[in-house]
């Protein structure tokens, strides 16, 4: 089982001025770097939590249909675009939307409306579900997730190398981990 981003988000959940406030900066010539850090921090939060923050399209691929419902990673799933599979003869098929339904209550699941899922070829990529996922907009993203993005981006801005030489440092114990922990999706079945 694996997932990939088909269509990335068009916006970030954190605005540049929020990061300026954290860093106590005024708008400056570092803005492109700060925007890159915001994007990278959002991606880190999404991978760590297995949860999309802003609206985007994902594809979930697995080795076959499950016996029952199929759980989708990504958090807030808003709609299914397609469910496709490779039949035993190797021909790709697309299920009609009437043959399944989305159960949005967490965790999001795809449920077959008929008796059973179709047979598939034996392959790691036998089934693919393309779906829309993410919170509706930046205002809907939980504050703790936005705070984690701000902390990560600020840390990377303040410490621009992978190694700190000549300074005694310590981390604020588990700050980002504590913010992310309640939002982690621990697995897909």
Tokens of 84: 């496709």
Taking residue 108's Cβ as centre, other Cβ atoms within 10 Å add up to 22
What is the domain-level CATH number for residue 175?
1.10.3230.30
Q: Report the percent of the chain where pLDDT is more than 90.
A: 72
DSSP string over 125-144: TSEEEEEEES-SSGGGS-HH
How far is Cα 144 from Cα 179, in angstroms, rounded to an integer?
A: 5
**What does the pLDDT average to over 16-45?**
91
Contact 118, 84 (CB under 8 A): no
Name the 3-class secondary structure at 47: helix
- Please tell me the number of Cα atoms within 13 Å of 14 on its side-chain side: 30
Q: What is the pLDDT of residues 61-99, one digit of tens each?
A: 999 999 999 999 999 999 999 999 999 999 999 999 999
Q: What is the pLDDT of residues 104-149, one digit of tens each?
A: 988 899 999 988 999 999 999 999 999 999 999 999 999 999 999 9
Taking residue 135's Cβ as centre, other Cβ atoms within 10 Å add up to 20
Q: What residue numbers bound the domain in which 179 lies? A: 1-189
**What does the pLDDT average to over 166-176?**
71
Is pLDDT at 38 greater than 80 in this prediction?
Answer: yes
CA torsion, ordered 155, 51, 79, 112, to nearest 10 deg: 170
What is the domain count for the chain?
1
Q: What is the pLDDT of residue 189?
A: 45
State how far Cα 128 lies from the chain centre.
17
Looking at per-residue pLDDT, the higher value among 21 and 142 belongs to 142
Q: What is the pLDDT of residue 83?
A: 98
Chain mean pLDDT for the chain: 91
Burial class (CB in 10 A: 0-12, 13-18, 19+), 110: buried
């Amino acid at each position: 089982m694996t997932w990939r981003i088909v269509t990335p988000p068009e916006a970030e959940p954190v605005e540049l001025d929020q990061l300026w406030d954290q860093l106590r900066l005024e708008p400056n010539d570092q803005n492109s770097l700060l925007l890159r850090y915001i994007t990278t921090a959002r991606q880190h939060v999404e991978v760590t939590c297995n949860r999309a923050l802003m609206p985007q399209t994902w594809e979930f691929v697995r080795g076959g249909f499950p016996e029952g419902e199929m759980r989708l990673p990504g958090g807030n799933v808003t709609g299914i675009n397609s469910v496709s599979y490779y039949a035993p003869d190797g021909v790709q098929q697309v299920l009609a939307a009437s043959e399944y339904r989305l159960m949005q209550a967490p965790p999001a699941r795809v449920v077959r409306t008929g008796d059973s899922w179709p047979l598939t070829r034996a392959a790691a990529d036998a089934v693919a579900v393309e779906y829309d996922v993410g919170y509706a907009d930046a205002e809907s993203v939980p504050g703790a997730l936005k705070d984690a993005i701000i902390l990560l981006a600020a840390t990377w801005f303040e410490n621009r190398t992978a190694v700190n030489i000549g300074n005694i440092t310590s981390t604020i114990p588990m700050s980002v981990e504590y913010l992310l922990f309640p939002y982690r999706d621990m697995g897909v079945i």
